[in-house]
Amino acid sequence: METLRSRGITRDDVWQAADSLLKAGQRPTIERIRLHLGRGSPNTVSPHLDAWFAALGGRIQDPQGFAPAPGCPEPVTEAARYLWEAALQSARASAEAALAQREAALVEASTALQQEREALAQQRQVMQARLEGAEAAMVELTRARDEATERAARAETAAAAWQQQAEALRAEHAAALAARQAMQDDFDARRAAWDQERETLMQRTAANERRMALELDAARVAAREAQKLLEAERKAAVERLSRAAEAASRQGSEMNRLGQAIAVLEERVRQRESLLAEYREQAVAAPAEAGAAAAAPTPARRSRPARVALSAAKGRRRGRGL
């Protein structure tokens, strides 16, 4: 039933009720208009009331908009004039209050906006600082990664160089062993020749002694000459034997020196193989040391590969001095 009655409210009903409330010194609202009319829903009254407020300024500028009808009694005219002034003052007060509220809301919104801008600026500074820190960390990590890669490359190069040196030492050791074997074979051949020559000389001396013994009675003078010849041959044989013994002694000394040189070469080969194993371990451990190098740089000092290379160079110089 209420819905049917609400549909009967017109624009003029709402405007007349709003004029009556304004003339009575009250601010027209939806609830007051509904109470004044005794019916109507807020959805029906609201658009008509908005239209009334929209037209109120023009009606205020036209005093005849609230003027009483011609022929009204004077008391009614005075009452209407009083109500008009009261309504005008109320409308001005309402407009000023609404304007003050809007200005206060605008100031509050401006303050909130300024605070929000400042907060955003602070957040932007914080984000910028974080971004710069992240970029610096990225640069540091990139530098550490490049250093680790360079160290690994140097370690691989050094390992390859040591591998080549080790192979060269192995070849040198094999050549030394071959030379030693050749010298041994030559010494054995010479010793056999010396032994055969000594046996031949001994046989020749024995034959000469037998021959001279048989010819002693027949030719003593020839025997003396033969004796002299025999003595000369003995001296020559002794000298040859002495020279052979000295040569054998020198050959033995040479073989001892060669054996010592081969022992030194074998020790150098073992040292180079040990260094090669250490370089391989360093090449494997190089990527794990990149984080420690980026977090706390080590003081400048000679690296282990440089010290090992220096020690190996000294060892080579000592080996050449032998």
pLDDT tens, position by position, 2-40: 443 445 788 899 999 988 888 888 888 999 999 999 888
pLDDT at 310 over 80: no
pLDDT at 70 over 60: no
Residues making up the chain, counted from first to last:
322
Digit-coded pLDDT (tens) for 242-291 = 888 888 788 888 888 888 888 888 888 888 888 888 878 887 776 666 55
pLDDT at 95: 67
Interval 295-304 mean pLDDT: 49
Q: Are 94 and 29 in contact (CB under 8 A)?
A: no
CATH top class, domain 127-295+302-321: mainly alpha
Q: Are 305 and 280 in contact (CB under 8 A)?
A: no
- State what percent of residues in the chain have pLDDT above 70: 75
Model confidence band, residue 69 (pLDDT cutoffs 50, 70, 90): low
pLDDT at 308 over 60: no
pLDDT at 181: 92
Q: For residues 72 and 233, which has the higher predicted lDDT (pLDDT)?
A: 233
pLDDT at 299: 47
Q: For residues 88 and 136, which has the higher predicted lDDT (pLDDT)?
A: 136
Looking at 67-216, list the stretches that DSSP marks H as alpha helix, in order from N- to C-terminal side: 74-215
pLDDT at 79: 65
- SS3 for 284? helix
Q: What is the pTM of this model?
A: 0.25
Q: Which amino acid is at 126?
A: V
List where CATH 1.10.287 sits in the chain.
127-295+302-321
Lowest mean pLDDT among 72-76, 237-241, 252-256: 72-76
**Backbone conformation region of residue 110, classed left if phi is above 0, alpha if psi is from -120 to 50, else beta:** alpha
Q: How far apart are CA 1 and CA 254, in angstroms?
A: 139
pLDDT at 307: 58
User: What is the CA 137 to chain-centroid distance, rounded?
Assistant: 9
Interval 138-144 mean pLDDT: 89
pLDDT at 63: 54
